Amino acid sequence: MEPAIKLTKVSVTFRDVRLTRTAIAASGPVHADTMNQRRTVRAGYSRDVLREDDISRLVADEPDFIHYYPATGDVARFIDAQTIRANRLQAYRDPAQRELAEWIRFSSADARKNRDGLTTGSMEIEGLAGWVVRNFYGKASLLKNDFLERGIKQARLEVAASAGWILITSEDAAVSSLLETGRRMQRLFLKVRALGIGLHPMTQILEERATRALLPAAVGIGPHIQFILRVGYVADYPPPVSLRRPVAWFLRQGDASS
What is the third-level CATH fold of 4-250?
NADH Oxidase (3.40.109)
Q: Please give the C-alpha separations between residue 202 and each of 87, 100, 132, in angstroms, as whole numbers.
A: 9, 14, 25
pLDDT band at 24 (very low <50, low <70, confident <90, very high): very low
Domain-wise residue ranges, the chain: 4-250
Other beta carbons within 10 angstroms of residue 99's beta carbon come to: 12
Query: Is residue 236 within 8 Å of 44, Cβ to Cβ?
Result: yes
pTM for the structure as a whole:
0.82
Average pLDDT of 177-184?
94
Helix (H, G, I), strand (E, B) or coil at 155: helix
pLDDT tens by residue, 70-94: 999 999 999 999 999 999 999 999 8
How many CA atoms lie less than 13 Å away from 156 in the CB half-sphere? 8
